[in-house]
Every structure is written in C-alpha cells, then in structure tokens.
Structure 1
Amino acid sequence: MIVPYSWSLILFVVSFFLVRTSTQLSLLSYRLILATIFACLIFYFYPARFSFSRLTPNDWTQFGYQFLQLVDKPFNQLPSLHVSYAILLGVSLWDIAGSRKSWVSGAYRLLLTGICTLIALSTVLTYQHHSIDMLGGAVLAILVLMLSNRIRNALVIKYLAVGSIGFLLIAIVGFYFANMSMIASEVVEDLAIITASYWLISFTMLAYAYQQAKPMRDARWFQKSNSGRLTLYTWMKFAPIIIIYNGMSCLGQWYFKVCSRNQRHPLTPYSINDMVKVVASARLMQTDINNHLTYWLFGCDLLERSRSLENLPPSVHHQIIVIDLASEISSHVYHLEAAAKNMTSTPVHYLYLPLLDLRPLSDVLLKDYIDLFKQIDALIQSAETQAITANNESWVEGSQVENNQVKDSLITLINFHCVMGLSRSIGVQVLYLLYCGTLTVYNYHSWIEQHYPHAHLKDAYLPKSLVETMASYKSGTY
C-alpha cells in the first residue's frame, strides 16, 4: 500500500494540469486551500499523534517506508489530509474526460475512483493514520465541498487564508518566546493566543464581508465620522486590515510620485460643463493637498497660486464634493477642508459609499449609485441656487451683474477617491458620467484610455452590464 500512498502527491500536482477551464481551476484551488486551512487550525488545537509503532518491511518496499519515515512524521493526524485531498481531487476531476463515447468517460471515472479509494485506504494500511483520522478527513472534505460551492470569489479565500496563516504564525512565535522566557512565560503565551485569535476573527469578518454583497451593511461595519475618519469602533474590529492598508497607501503614494515625476499634473479634472468638473484620485497625502487643490481649482502650479488668487474675479466661487469610496482607510477630506479654508474659504462636502477593495462594482445595487448621484446633484443645485440668490441681492443693491456672470459664479469640483489603485474612483466616476449623459456605452472605454491611460479596469470589475444599466437609467429605458 506504500505505492498508492505515494500517488497522492502525484495526483495533487497533475490535477492542476488536467482541469480544462479557469472556473474548474479556481474551484479546485478553493477546495484544496480551504481543506488545508481548516486542517492546520485543527492540528493546532488538537495535535494528534499516531500511537502505534510500525516495523519497516524487509522486502522491496522498505525504501518507500524509510523515505516516508523521513519526510512524513507521525504528527497532525486528525483529519487525514491524504483522505481529504483524495476526495476533493476525485470530485474536481470527475467531469474533465468529456467524450462522445460513454465507455471512455466510464473507464476514466472508474480509474479515478480506484486511485482515490486506494489513496484513502492506504493511509490506514500503511500505519500512517487511525480509522478515525480517515473518517475526519472524509468529513472535512464534505464540509469543504459544501462551502466551496458558495464561495463568491477568490478574495474570500484570500482573507480566510491570511487570517488562518497569521493566527498560526503569531501563536507559534508566542509559544517559542514563552519557552525561551523564564519569566512570565504563561503571560507571553496567553498574550500571543489572544493576539492571534483577534487576527483570525478580524480577517474572518472581512472574508464574510466579501462573501455578502451588501455595501450598505459595510457602511455600518466600516463606520466613519463626518470628517471621513474611521471610528474607534471600526478600528477595534479591523485594526490589522486598517494598518495594512495605511502602509499600502503610503507605499502607493510614494510609487505614484515616482511614476508621475515627469508628468506635470497627472490628475487633471474633466469638465462636464462650465460649472462642474470631476477628478478621480487616490487618497492624497497631507503634504500634497495644497498642490493638487490649487491645480484642480485654478489650473496652475503651487508656485503660481498667489498670483492666481490675486487675479481671480471676485464673482467666481468654488465648492468641493468629496466622494469617499475606501472602506479600509480614512479619507483625505479633513486635510482638504483645512487647505480649502486657508486658501479660498471653499466649502467641502463629504459623501461616503463604502466599497471593499477589488470588489466588483456590480455588487453595489443600482439604487445605491443613483442615491449617491442624486445627493451630488442636490449639492450642486443647492449651491447654484444660493449663488444666484446672492447675485440677485447684489443686483438689487446696485451691483450690475451680467447674466453670463451668474452662470460662471460657481464652479463645483467633484473628487472621487479610493486608496491607491484608482480602480474604485475611476469606475464610479465613469458611472456618474454615464448618469449625467456625458459618456455612453460606446465611448466610455476610449474615455478611460484617454484620461487615465494607466488604469486597468477589467470587465469583471466594471462589467458592461452595469454600464448599460446606468446608461439605460439615464435615457429612461431602464
């Protein structure tokens, strides 16, 4: 039985080359990763050891058993991953031998069943596992098969894996530090377990958030204040993720600076009309706020700001609407408010639509997008009404204001921002331009290539069906 026992590794490797489609490959990967994650967690909490001694045969199989004793120690017995893998591989490879001749498919499935059955039986008959380990492996495989069919995407698996691996690493490091420390060793180990458990719970909650396509629920999970700062309640739940994204944001901003060093202004607002312009950006650093804000509002460098402000007609006013799309990190709106107040006393409005990183934009309900865009329109309309009222009052008092000056009296800058990749901010900005009727289903691709040439918005992230639905809503055919 040492021969079929060794087939497990061969079948494991070959299976990735036997599957025919990307869907089959993803499902196979999900299943194997989930089985490994759950088994490793069980191994940590219940580190079972094989209790029987095994004599090495004197025949030709002795080399196989000697190698087995060298590389496969009798620990981590329950559940048997050999059994779990055999079942998962058998199910995943069941339909790959498509043939018009039924006997070919039948022979393939019979061979596959025989190989997987022998692998499962060999775990007991080579004295590597007890029967209960074999049963545990089968139960684990069944649970993984049930769960894998409900997994929405690879991001769920990614965060489950990160949570489990982080738990094991933190707990094991704490165990070793506790054994090296002669003082307060129990305190060190308990602290490591608490930290590891918190890490696991936090990432499991994040994986659950990706599993459930409910962005409005994410607004409660990733709460922010009116100034765009993540609340203490959010930090308590997701501190590891938030810390990681803050580090990624700093790295991304540094990379953005390096890549755009030869570009004068890499983030140029796009004018919808004479009064409204939009721009997508990453989360801006405090040191860059003044430079970006000056260019967005006045179209000039920071060095020319003072001259531009002096020559700015007194009838021209600005307002800024910031749409925060990043769930995992605080917004730059509070720095933007301070800069705008010091610069021109420009009012800044803050709106929040929480979108988890890399989650497809189609996960958000069309109603949520429409509600957001209507809030933007309401802010624009309200400010325009106030400007017209102020101009009328000035005219009554004797200040002659031409009608064309009333139209130019207010400029609204709409800033969509995420963390660093710009996918979220550009994607939602495109949807807003479709909502406004500025873009259509026929030209939005070319518009992205023209204004954001380095952006990579795949169809899976910004699906054409969502674009068509938004365009249909604007045209009244939805």
Structure 2
Amino acid sequence: MDEARVTIGTRIKLVALCATVFSLFYNVNAWYASTLDYVPSFIFSFEQYIPFIPWTVIPYMTSGIFFVIVFFLCETRQELQTLTKRVVFVSVAAGLFFLLFPLKFSFIKPETSSVLFNFFFQFIKKVDSPFNEAPSLHIAFAFIFWSVFRNFTAPWRQVSAVWLVLLGLATLTTYQHHLLDVVTGAILGQLSFIVFPAEKNNFKLRNFYLANCYFLGGWLVILLSLVVFEFYHASGLILLWPALVLFLVGYHYQKNSIYFLKNKQGTIPWYKKIVYFPYIGLYWLFWKFLRKNKKPIELIPKLYVSSRLDQSEFQDFKGNQNTLVYDFSAELEENNAIKGNSVYHAVPLLDIGAFDTIEIKRIVLEITSHYKELPKDGKILIHCTMGLSRSTLIGILVVKNILSLPLDEALIKIKTTHKNAVIHSYVQDFLKSINI
C-alpha cells in the first residue's frame, strides 16, 4: 500500500478524533451551562477599555482552519502523535474547567456595518457559545499550532507568528473572551508542552522542556499579578517584572545562550543585574542559605570541586596564581577575590540543561592538559553555583580521563568522594554517550 496514502489517511483519522473530542466536551458543557439559573462572569475592571475591533474577526475565524491543516503540516509520525495528544489533552482539560467553573462573556457586542464582518459575527453567534470561557481554547490551540508552525522557514515562520498573535488578541477585540480566559488558555497551552514534550527522551530537546517550564511560570505569575492588582493593590503589577524575566530566561534556554548573563570574564553587566534581578536574587538566596558544598572536595590530588566560594572560603582554600578555576555557574558572577588571585576561566552551563558535546569535550581535554602540567603548588578548582550537578559532571569526565577509568568506576569514585553530588538520569545518559 502506498505510504503517502496511509499517512494522509492517518492524518484524517486524527483530525476526526480530535474534532470529535473537542465538539463533545465543548457542546455538552455549553448545553449544561445554558441550563443553569445563573452563570457568573469574571472581568478585570480595566477590561472596559479594551476596544471592539471588527476586522480582527478574520484572524479569529482562522483558528478553525488551522485546527485542520496543522495535522497535515507535521513532518514525522512522532510530531503528529504529539500534536494529537496535546489537542486531546487541552480539549479534555478545558472541558473539565467549563463544567466545574462555568463562566459567561458579559460585554455587549456592538453592531458592525460591514456585510462581511457581520456575516462572520453571525456565524460565530451560531457556532460559538457565550459560555466555555476560561481557559480559552482559541488561545490554547494557538500555542499548539505554533509548535508546528515554528518549523516553517522564513518568511512563513514570521508571518505565522504574527498571525497567531493577532488571533490571540482577536479573542479580546472581537468580544469573545475576557482577559482571564486568555491567560488561563496560555497556561493550559503551555502545560500541554510539559505534559507531552516533543520527544521525551531526546537529550538535545531538554532545553525546550525547561524553557516551557519557565514560560509556564511566567504565565502563572502574570495571572497572580492581575489578581493581586484587581483585588488587593496596584502594586501587584510589580509581579509583571519577574514574569518578564521568566520569559526571557525561557527564551535563552531555548537558544542555549550560555552567556546570556555572564560574559567571558565572569562578570554580569550592570544593566543585566537590573533586568534579571529577580532571577539572580533567587539564585543568590539558594546559594547563600541552601548550599552544602562550601569547602572544596578533593577528587584526586590537586583536583577539587565545590560550590561558588565566597572570599573567605577561597582564602581558606589557599588559592594562588597557580590555581586554575573553572566556573560553570551561569547565574551568579564570580567574586573578585577568585578572579584576581587565580587563573580564571568562565565556562557557564545552564542549570539542569542540555550540554554541547563538542564544548564539553574541549573543556575536559583542556582541564586534563592543564592538570598534567600543574606546578608543585598548583591545583584546579571546578565549581558551579551549588556544587552539585554541573561541577560533578565535569569532575567525573576529568577524573575518568586523567585516570583512564571506565565510566562506572569513575562514577563510583565521585559518589564515594563527593557525598552531595547530584547525578541526574539525563546526566548519566549523557555520560554514556560522550566519548573522550
């Protein structure tokens, strides 16, 4: 049987499955809400200033078209299966919220003089329900559409991004949804990426999973900010700052931008300290109060791992100009005592993120080479922020390389020496895949 024909048939079946699940949950809940004596609305006070813009009904209407064609744009079976799982998940999860917390759109929609726009609005009136508001399926589906559209090449990638943004804004400007629905729809769409990642065991895509966690956190903080602003105090809007930072950090995880904060001298520029203050501050608190590995641990003679040391801890370590320091922390800048009294190397890695195999090999071989040439009073210190995971990874590979040990023996040696070492399963998989 022709493979393309089978593929098309499978796509059609999956479209039908997702459309059936969506229709079932959407229509049953709309009917249920219509039978209730009272269905509340949730409106932020400033929403009264959102304008009604008739022409935005056009991008709003394209959601139904995208719902179908997106299944025919997936390039692999894996991508198609993931898309299906996300659409079903979003439809069912939203349906449960519609059932448990029914809400109604409450603004009166103005009349429009355009025949075309009026036709679209009449169509929406027939097929859309004034209920089934939060979370907005239009928004959640737009997120899922982007997970496929983002694979387009320029300029279609940019065009589709702008169009999906217009689609999202149209939920407000066509008076179909309130802001709560939009934010909760974004949360639900983002959650679908975490529950059903693109490729669960693909180490190279780990940063995308972590980025989605940061993005989800950003949307949750936005929701919290709006609620605090509405019901307690205008100061709640300050929470939009950490929300923005979460989005920025998520973006850099997607790009694996290891120098997004620190430069190659181990310093964070003043303007980044201001912008990323919530992120840097949180890591500083973790470092200040939760770290355990404050005293460098000697893995083998003259090779140490630790957390980021403060000035007094580095003095106790007796670092000198023949001490090589490899700093793998991407979140906190190195203290001046270390940079001024050692041979310092800034080689940041994103916390619990993916690693670039070529870069890791380069670093390990460089440390190994320096180790073999150390003078009598020389030593090497490898550290990250907490001294648990990133420094441990490099320590394992360096010890394995210097002593020519099998990986299992190197792991046992590190675990025996470094009691607080954290070796995640994905790190173990990476160690097995890298050959130095």
TM-score by length of 1: 0.49
Contact 1:318–1:410 under 8 Å retained in 2:
no
Contact 1:431–1:467 under 8 Å retained in 2:
no
Aligned to 1:278: 303
Aligned to 1:241: 279
Deviations 1:322-348 (A, max 9, x none): 11111111224x22356x5xxxxxxx1
Size of the aligned set, in residue pairs, is: 282
2:428 alignment partner, SS class: coil
Match of 2:388 among 404, 408, 422: 422
Aligned to 2:218: 163
- RMSD of aligned Cα (Å): 4.2
Deviations 1:194-213 (A, max 9, x none): x444322211111122233x
Aligned residue identity for 1:324? D
Q: Distance in 1 between matches of 2:380 and 2:388?
A: 15
Deviations 1:288-327 (A, max 9, x none): 2222x14xx7xxxxxxxxxxxxxxxxxxx97111111111
The alignment status of 1:206 with 2:249, answered yes or no, reads yes
With over 3 angstroms needed to count, the CA separation of the structure-2 counterparts of 1:366 and 1:75, relative to structure 1, is: same
With over 3 angstroms needed to count, the CA separation of the structure-2 counterparts of 1:171 and 1:143, relative to structure 1, is: closer
Aligned to 2:351: 357
Match of 2:431 among 466, 471, 474: 466
C-alpha displacement of 1:373: 3.5
Aligned to 1:218: 258
Aligned residue identity for 1:441? L
Aligned to 2:312: 287
Q: Distance in 2 between matches of 1:331 and 1:458?
A: 25
Deviations 1:49-94 (A, max 9, x none): xxxxx9997xxxxxxx47xx5xx7322699xxxxxxxx9xxxxxxx
Unaligned 5+ runs, structure 1? 1-53, 58-64, 79-86, 88-111, 179-188, 258-265, 298-316, 341-347, 385-408, 474-478
Matches within 5 A, 1:63-142: 65=36, 69=38, 73-75=40-42, 128=104, 131=128, 137-142=136-141
Q: Distance in 2 between matches of 1:174 and 1:419?
A: 35
Contact 2:293–2:420 under 8 Å retained in 1:
no
With over 3 angstroms needed to count, the CA separation of the structure-2 counterparts of 1:371 and 1:449, relative to structure 1, is: closer
With over 3 angstroms needed to count, the CA separation of the structure-2 counterparts of 1:55 and 1:284, relative to structure 1, is: closer
Contact 2:392–2:422 under 8 Å retained in 1:
no
Match of 2:269 among 211, 216, 231: 231
With over 3 angstroms needed to count, the CA separation of the structure-2 counterparts of 1:119 and 1:207, relative to structure 1, is: closer
Contact 1:281–1:417 under 8 Å retained in 2:
yes
With over 3 angstroms needed to count, the CA separation of the structure-2 counterparts of 1:173 and 1:287, relative to structure 1, is: farther
Q: Distance in 2 between matches of 1:357 and 1:211?
A: 13
Matches within 5 A, 1:268-417: 268-271=297-300, 277-291=302-316, 293-294=317-318, 319-332=322-335, 334-336=336-338, 340=341, 348-359=342-353, 363-376=354-367, 410-417=376-383
Q: Distance in 1 between matches of 2:93 and 2:230?
A: 38
Taking only the aligned residue pairs, the percentage that are identical comes to 16
Contact 2:364–2:394 under 8 Å retained in 1:
no
Match of 1:251 among 286, 289, 292: 289
With over 3 angstroms needed to count, the CA separation of the structure-2 counterparts of 1:279 and 1:380, relative to structure 1, is: closer
Aligned residue identity for 2:299? Y
C-alpha displacement of 1:267: 3.6
Contact 1:322–1:349 under 8 Å retained in 2:
yes
Q: Distance in 1 between matches of 2:217 and 2:94?
A: 33
The alignment status of 1:445 with 2:411, answered yes or no, reads yes
C-alpha displacement of 1:450: 1.2
C-alpha displacement of 1:412: 2.6
Aligned residue identity for 1:336? I
Aligned residue identity for 2:263? K
Q: Distance in 2 between matches of 1:118 and 1:327?
A: 37
1:455 alignment partner, SS class: coil
Unaligned 5+ runs, structure 2? 1-31, 48-66, 68-87, 106-124, 148-192, 200-204
Q: Distance in 2 between matches of 1:238 and 1:428?
A: 27
1:415 alignment partner, SS class: strand
Contact 2:222–2:239 under 8 Å retained in 1:
yes
Aligned residue identity for 1:370? K
C-alpha displacement of 1:458: 2.2
1:211 alignment partner, SS class: helix
Contact 1:283–1:418 under 8 Å retained in 2:
yes
Contact 1:441–1:468 under 8 Å retained in 2:
no
1:442 alignment partner, SS class: helix
Q: Distance in 1 between matches of 2:414 and 2:369?
A: 26
